[in-house]
Structure 1
Amino acid sequence: MRRDGTRLLLFAIALVAFGVVIVTPAAASPGETTDSTASAQSAVFTDDHVGECAATPPSDLDDPENPEGVIGWVEGYWYTEPVEVTPEDGFNETERDRLAGRTAAQVEALRCLDYTEGLPPLRTISREEYRERIVAPAVEQISPEGRLYERAQYAARLTIGNEVNTTRELIEAQTAFPAAFYLPSEQYMAFVTDDETVEDLNQGTLAHELVHALQDQHFDVAAVFAEPTNDGYLSSAGVVETDAQFFQQQYQQNCAAGEWATECFIPAPGQPPEVPNWAIALNQQFQYTLPLIEQRYQAGGTQAINDLFGNYPETTTETIYPDRLGEFETANITVPDRSTSAWRRVQSGNLTYNTIGQAGVTAILVAPYYETNGRQSVISDFSEFMPRRGELDYGIPETDGWRGDKLYGYANGDNETAAVWELAWADAGDAEQFAEAYRSLLEYRGGTLADGYQNVYTLDTDAYDMAVAVEQTDDRVRIVTAPSVDDLTTVHESISLQQTNGSQDSMDGTDSEDGSDGTEANESDNAQDSDGSGAGFGLFAAALAVIAVGAASALRRR
């Protein structure tokens, strides 16, 4: 099931993915790891710093007579072998190749897989070339219909305004922070840099990309990009990404402990660059999968992680809560097209609706905290998202009861867009908790209650020009967007618009032939506190540090 979209067939290091290491912006010279770096790493590591799978190198470090299947030796380098480099003047191509070979051997010794197809080449690419040759073409290939769909669904998510050029915003979001990437389709790794000598080469980043190369040689990692919905893609890609993150952490802990033969080159991160869109950034931050990878590793080592490939979780909820893997059931949600003839449903490629998922909904609600440097929040307690230093927890109370969602886009003859977003929750209390947070997010984005209505908001800002109705009924929340209040019932006739005098505006109040709202039908579809003062800047600084370190050592797939 192909879709137009903004996913690039690559795995790219960026600011916002796998931001799990707390590092203060000061101190730590190249080649050093700070104490806080070590303390923030996952506690799940092998006792002997390498896996039992690793071969024992000979004392003279000679190459094995038969290298096939030897774990811990790659193209002339053992994992215990020192390499000669001069970091003072950067790393030229020869030095980068040396580090790549030896780091690959170390990755083999940790990940317990061998490079059966050899080591992929390591290149450099300028940031401008990365943008123009790789990112922009992938985003700009979206069809005109797909662009309408993207505009409609991002506006309903309150992520990109309907008055904003969605294509330009997505390109900016995709290209702002990458440091390195692995390109499965062409099987090479690259550092994104305008410096030919790559003075700030980060071996943790290199190890991360080398894990992806291993995955590509043993598993069908490209299959995750075929997942049609946001939730389906993130739950699958999260396994691929967090596997690499997990063993990057093991690699870096060995660096901090001095377990490798020579020092590691892991520069301390500087000040984080400006994030163009926090909601998109946090949506594609794969740290929520780390509990699943850690649990699997503790239970069955690397083989248990291997078993996840091709047998991916179906929702991000299963990655946030590993004990729900294979047992979590989403609600049946059916949203009949109840628009008038003025509107048509639009789609992106073959995708007729999107499912945002628990991790995606959490990212939407958490974004204001980052956008305002911790001054404002629409969730009740940001410490629920960041319960302790060094991790982020996407299972916040406002989204913990998520049981499914479907988001449809609409367009009219003037190419104005609208949306219907139906979300199912565990119970009425969970539904109300989300609805309240979403209403707070509407107000944060500039929405105000429409005159005469209790559940209808209008937005008239540089980014948003639309009306939004938020309706909660038992364990369901329905969100409808349209160009104006009058258009809401033409987009979805049965949306209930609650007037201040207690009456309701709707066409018939039902969504299915049996008189129900249609959200539990078996047939499938075609396809807070606004000032945030309680959180404080101390918590924000820690949260930003968690994410900022990803610019040097964390991976995000776009």
Structure 2
Amino acid sequence: MKLRLLALACCLVLAGCAAPAAPSPTPDAEVLGEENGYAATDPLEIDESDGLNESELNAIVARTMARVELIRGLEFTESVPVEVISRAEFAEGFSRDTTVDSPAERAREQRYEASMLVGEDRTVGAAFESIYGGSVLGYYSSGRIVLVSSNDSLTVDRGTLAHELLHALQDQRLSLLGGAPNPDRAIAETGLVEGDANYVEARYEQRCAEEWDCRPRPQSSAGSLEDRNFGLYLTIYAPYSEGPSFVHRAYETGGWEEVNDRYARPPRSSEQLIHPADYPDDRPARVIVPDRSTAVFDRASPTTVGEATLFAMFYQQGVIDRNELMSTPGPYSAYNYSHPATTGWAGDKLVPYLGEDGDGYVLQTRWESEDDAIQFAQAYRGMLRGSLNATAEGGGVYVVDDGPYADAFRVTRDGRTVRIVNAPTVQELSDVRRGD
């Protein structure tokens, strides 16, 4: 499922996988920029005051398909069914499992706790549900599009429709990717897919402003994020914010053909999205965390946090302020995910450890230079002391006495490596990792 989220002005937009493949030839019977009897420049006489009937919706979809394929330079191979539902209908049908029972679920909880995004006072599932429930504007899944209307009369937002139609076009002609080996790689690959869709949507809006006759956009019905987790939101939104700049750079280099080629060679880390010039040469470093735990804890499968999530962590905990987030974003991007505390990321490995009386983790990060490692370590220690009110116990050990992140931490740096060990108590730090 490809979601489109609302982009917040501190604000958000979230919008079957196919194997990467080159575009197929344009069907002889079709003309680029014409779909189901409508051309990209055709006017539409539609009264939306009482909502859309079936024929009106079909006309809007057909003309938007024609416009999307004209912008993207690819022909749809088949029509795309579109359904419009109210936000109440979407909320009723949208639910996520908020229980935490299995070792895999506990390991996922540790990933987001290690990122200081979801503490022990709630589950990751509940945190995600609070974001998706009020922010999704539409989605593409299994060959069909569902749009979430901004009001009870079931109107269609032209930008959301164009965005989701581009996902359908990707599915028909390129790939929706998927199956990434870790969450950071998933952010990177989603950045290509969503970046392409957001980039096309932006060019669609530009033509609406300059040459096309376009229907007005309704006000969004998505709720505010005042009662939600904005840092967690930033991890979800990273592909939508940083992806368009990545795609724009590819387009400026070699047009849509270069963008198409990226589907066979997608970015490998969120770092490559945030810093498009690092693609494709600056690949994530291989980070190995040997198991030095005692029998008190069971080691779970390692994963990768990544630069985008570490940036979101520092934003959530007040190390990065709103002005820095909104300052000088890349072309077609909403936010600036680059910060000195995280820019030098070269790789990381997070290993959750599960115990009978509580869980812990080892987060080992690798940096491009020793100075980069020093900046990250200083920012992390400052976050523990300033945001979480930790007390320093000596030897790199800190204790957070209360709150959702109440635990013991050991922070050490060795050259370009910064290692964070977490456990419920100071005594158990050595059970999670001996010898440091």
In the superposition, the TM-score normalised over structure 1's length comes to 0.69
Structure 1 position 367, deviation (Å): 2.7
Residue 235 of structure 2: aligned partner: 283
Aligned residues: percent identity? Answer: 29
Count of residues paired in the alignment:
418
| C-alpha deviation, 1:246, in angstroms | 0.4
* Higher RCO (C-alpha under 8 Å, 6+ residues apart): 1
Identify which of 452, 456, 460 aligns with 2:397: 456
1:5 maps to which residue?
none
The match for 1:120 is 80
Is the contact made by 1:92 and 1:198 (CA closer than 8 Å) also made in structure 2? Answer: no
The separation in 2 between residues aligned to 1:19 and 1:95, in whole angstroms, is: 35
Q: Give the aligned partner of residue 252 of structure 2.
A: 298
Distance 1:361 1:145 in 2: 24
Against the structure 1 CA distance between its residues 282 and 384, is the aligned structure 2 distance closer, same or farther, given a 3 Å change threshold? closer
Give the Cα–Cα distance (whole angstroms) in 2 for the partners of residues 425 and 244 of structure 1: 32
Aligned mate of 2:4, from 8, 13, 24? 13
Structure 1 residue 256: Cα displacement: 1.5
Cα 1:335–1:273 change in 2 (3 A) is: same
Identify the residue that residue 192 of structure 1 maps to in structure 2: 148
Cα offset, 1:135, TM superposition: 4.3
Could you tell me which runs of 5 or more consecutive residues in structure 1 were left unpaired when the two chains were aligned: 1-9, 22-54, 56-65, 347-351, 369-376, 496-558
Deviation digits for residues 376-413 of structure 1 (CA, Å, limit 9, x no counterpart): x3148953762269642222211111100000111112
SS of the residue 1:12 aligns to: strand
SS at the partner of 2:164? helix
User: SS state of the match for residue 478, structure 1?
Assistant: strand
SS of residue paired to 1:395: coil
Residue 165 to residue 291, structure 1, CA distance change in 2 (3 Å) = closer
The corresponding residue for 2:169 is 214
Counterpart pick for 1:162 among 120, 123, 142: 120
SS of the residue 1:354 aligns to? coil
Separation in structure 2 between the aligned mates of residue 421 and residue 402 of structure 1, nearest angstrom: 13
**Matches of 1:216 and 1:323, distance apart in 2:** 27
Structure 1 residue 408 corresponds to structure 2 residue 363? no
Superposed displacement of residue 271, structure 1: 8.9
Task: Say which one has the larger Rg.
Answer: 1
Structure 1 pair 417/235, CA: closer, same or farther in 2 (3 Å)?
A: same
User: What letter corresponds to residue 227 of structure 1 in structure 2?
Assistant: A
| Aligned twin of 1:358 | 307
SS of corresponding position for 2:364: strand
Q: Which residue of 1 aligns with 2:384?
A: 442
- Match of residue 214, structure 2, among 254, 257, 263: 263
The TM-score normalised by the length of structure 2 is 0.88
Secondary structure (helix, strand or coil) at the match of 1:336 reads coil
* One-letter code aligned to 1:279: G
150-159 or 241-250: bigger deviation: 150-159
- 2: distance between equivalents of 1:19 and 1:122? 30
| 1:75 matched to 2:36 | yes
Amino acid at match of 2:391: L
> Please, what is the CA RMSD of the aligned residues?
2.7
The runs of 5 or more residues in structure 2 that have no matched partner are: 13-25
> Which amino acid in structure 2 is aligned with residue 215 of structure 1?
Q
Distance 1:74 1:417, change over 3 A: same
Paired residue for 1:241, among 172, 190, 194? 194
Instruction: Provide the secondary structure at the position in 2 that maps to 1:198.
Output: coil
Q: Which moved more, 1:145-154 or 1:169-178?
A: 169-178
* Contact 1:293 1:305 (8 Å CA) reproduced: yes
**Equivalent position SS for 1:282:** helix
Tell me, in whole angstroms, the C-alpha distance in 2 between the residues paired with 1:175 and 1:417.
29
* Contact preservation (8 Å) 2:350, 2:361: yes
Partners of 1:172 and 1:114 in 2: CA distance: 37
| The one of 294, 313, 318 aligned to 1:340 | 294
* CA–CA distance in structure 2, aligned partners of residues 135 and 115 of structure 1: 32
